Every structure is written in C-alpha cells, then in structure tokens.
A and B are shown apart, each in its own frame.
Chain A
C-alpha cells in the first residue's frame, strides 16, 4: 500500500527555524512535492525534489533521501504569515498522493 506520514501539528516562534518531516512508502517514486495551504484556500506549490539532497529557495529548503523514504521542509526566519498547513505529496507511478498535512502555528 501507499503511505505518507507527517506530524499533525507543530508550533514554533517567530524568527526561529522549523523542520517538518515526511516519510513515505509508495509504489514507484518520481518526485516529492511540498505545498503550503492557508486555511480556506487552495494548496500552493513550494518545492519539488527528485534527487537526493537539499534544494534551497529563499527562506524555504527541502531535503530528500530516497533510500530512507524521507524528506523534510525547513523554514527559516519564521514569519507570522507562515502559519499554515504544509502538505507533503509523492509522485508515484502515475499520480500524486498527499499526506494529511502538518498544521504549523507561529507564536509571536
């Protein structure tokens, strides 16, 4: 079967760094996506990893280890607007499957 796990909720402080982990077991692997979703809105694309290693994009970075079935999203210099849900999604053989998302709370 296919399974994507990520923590349900996390809390961090404004200005700090937070790491959101994602582990996956899927039939086939053609890449891993991270999305941000604010309450009441559609998901928006953050990052894509298909090779092992770290991809940096401004305050956000995403890491992938295919051998471990593991990824993380790293958010630096947290801002209040980063309060949202973060969705890990894996592109398997023929479709994209989503995890349940991690709700990130930012404290002032």
Chain B
C-alpha cells in the first residue's frame, strides 16, 4: 500500500544546530507540503513543491529550506535551529486533482533547547 512516512518521529536538538527532517511518499504524487502545527495557530504552511526541482515558500518559511531532487522525497532543513521552531511538523502529499485529498505523514515532534 502507498504511504507517506516521516523521520525521525521525535528529535531534540540545540539552538544553532542544523536539523533535517525527512519525508518520503510512495503515492507518486507531484505535490508535497510541509506544515508546522502549534497551539493557537493550527496548521501553517512552511514550504511546498509541485514537482522535481520545484520549491515554493509558504506563510512561515523564514529559517527553513527544502529541496526536491526526486518525486518521493521532500526533506525540510532548519538552517540554524531556534527555540521558536519547537513544534510538530507534518509532511503531506497530494495528487493535485481537485477531488483528491492530502495524505499526511505521522508527524515529527521537534524540540529545540
């Protein structure tokens, strides 16, 4: 069965370190998204990609970057982790046809000390 996975599921890091969160999907979807979810803010879009070599900024992209070298993976990198980036991060993929839903990964809980 097709799926979308994230790793690690939990991560503790220190301020200033570079961190990369992995997202891998086997739906063969062109569209992939990274969200963060915090109390009082709901899901906020960080970056998204509509295909290989395509990346776009979302509403809270500062301090984050993504790259898309193949269809299956969209890693999210925190260049220099800050305490404000402590959050739960969800990756999602979507076929892009308007009748299809987004499929979410299980999430990564990141703590920046």
Chain A residues with CB under 8 Å of B50's CB are 94
Asked if A44 and B104 make an inter-chain contact with CB atoms under 8 angstroms apart, the answer reads: yes
Interface magnitude class on chain A: 20 to 34
Q: Which residues of A contact B107 (CB under 8 A)?
A: 41-42
A residues 59-108 with Cβ under 8 Å of B? 87, 89, 91, 94-101
Are B102 and A87 in contact, CB atoms less than 8 angstroms apart?
Answer: no
Complex Cα spacing A44 to B102, Å: 9
Tally of A-B residue pairs with Cβ under 8 A? Answer: 46
Contact indicator per residue, chain A 39-68, by CB within 8 Å of chain B (1) or not (0): 001111100101000000000000000000
Using CB atoms and an 8 Å cutoff, list the residues of chain B in contact with chain A. 33, 35, 40-45, 48, 50, 58, 90, 94, 98-99, 101-107
Given A42-B104, A42-B105, A45-B102: A98 and B90 interface contact (C-beta under 8 Å): no
| B-binding residues in A (CB < 8 A) | 30-31, 33, 41-45, 48, 50, 87, 89, 91, 94-101
A45 & B101 in contact (Cβ 8 Å cutoff) = yes
